[in-house]
């Protein structure tokens, strides 16, 4: 139908206007054989999904299709009116159906699928009632359970799809948080090491710190630094000499006292023996 030229009628057997229009439509189909225009008639009872795709609300309804462009015929429903619409190109005065509402659009395809489902439910109802003898109330309960089950399956599927689409960013955030936690742990370890590191006692001997930047030394600076070093060495020798004198004095007195005690000990022992005798 999307290629070439088509004139399509939608009718129903129970429609009186359709029954009256049947003879006119058959004559028009014979007239259009030589003009390479295809003429068709669609029973909406046999093809409900197709009637839903074309949004049939009035019977009979006629569509003119030219290379996939749909136009609804609104002229006189007579043989002359149909012929003039094609031969005199009166179809150019008719605005085409919008792309959104066209029968080959996605929304109309969805509507057609809904009509197919409704026909399937109707056929299932007829089979359960006529063939298996189910009462109407049991059939309604069965359909309700089926609808709930299908809804749960569809809802669970949608949730799974959403979860699958969102989990990628959540995992990335979790990885970033893990990296941040590792950085914090490293900082804590460094801080604890700094706290536990023993502090070195300050040395009494002055240290000469070499500067990384080159500096110019004058003779006065060199002589003053040498004099200061000599004074420090003399002071250090004096302190060490005093310490040695004190230690020597203490050692000689202790030794003399120890020798006196050693000399007194034998005399006391001899006297004690004489008394005992």
Q: List, by residue number, the catalytic residues.
A: 15, 18
Coil, strand or helix at 132: coil
Q: 3-state DSSP: the chain helix, strand, coil percent, rounded to 5?
A: 65, 10, 25
Coil, strand or helix at 103: coil
Q: What is the separation of C-alpha 170 from the centre of its chain, rounded to a whole number of angstroms? A: 6
**Do 77 and 24 contact (CB within 8 A), yes or no?**
yes
Rounded Cα–Cα distance for residues 106 and 72 (Å): 19
Residue ranges of E strands in 73-174: none
Q: Could you tell me the two tokens for 164?
A: 């699958």
The DSSP 8-state label assigned to residue 46 in this structure reads T
CA angle 112–116–119, rounded 5-degree value: 135
**Do 1 and 47 contact (CB within 8 A), yes or no?**
no
* Cα radius of gyration (the chain): 58
The residue written with tokens 């460094």 in the block is: 190
């Amino acid at each position: 139908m999307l290629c070439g030229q088509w004139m399509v009628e939608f009718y129903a057997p129970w429609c009186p206007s359709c029954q009256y229009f049947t003879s006119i439509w058959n004559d028009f189909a014979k007239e259009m054989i030589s003009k390479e225009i295809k003429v068709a008639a669609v029973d909406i009872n046999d093809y409900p999904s197709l009637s839903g795709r074309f949004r049939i609300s009035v019977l009979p309804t006629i569509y003119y299709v030219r290379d996939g462009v749909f136009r609804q015929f609104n002229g006189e429903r007579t043989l002359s009116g149909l012929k003039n619409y094609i031969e005199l190109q009166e179809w150019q005065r008719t605005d085409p159906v919008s792309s959104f509402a066209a029968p080959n659009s996605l929304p109309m395809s969805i509507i057609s699928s809904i009509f197919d489902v409704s026909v399937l439910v109707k056929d299932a109802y007829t089979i359960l009632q006529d063939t298996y003898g189910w009462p109407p109330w049991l059939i309604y309960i069965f359909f309700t359970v089926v609808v709930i089950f299908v809804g749960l399956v569809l809802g669970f599927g949608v949730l799974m799809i959403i979860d699958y689409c969102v989990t990628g960013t959540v995992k990335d955030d979790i990885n970033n948080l893990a990296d941040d936690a590792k950085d914090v742990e490293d900082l804590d370890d460094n801080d604890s090491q700094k706290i536990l590191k023993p502090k070195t006692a300050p040395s009494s001997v002055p240290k000469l710190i070499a500067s990384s930047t080159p500096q110019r030394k004058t003779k006065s600076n060199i002589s003053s630094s040498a004099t200061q070093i000599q004074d420090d060495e003399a002071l250090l020798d004096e302190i060490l000499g005093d310490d040695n004198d004190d230690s020597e004095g203490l050692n000689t007195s202790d030794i003399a006292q120890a020798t006196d005690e050693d000399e007194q000990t034998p005399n006391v022992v001899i006297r004690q023996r004489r008394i005992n005798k």
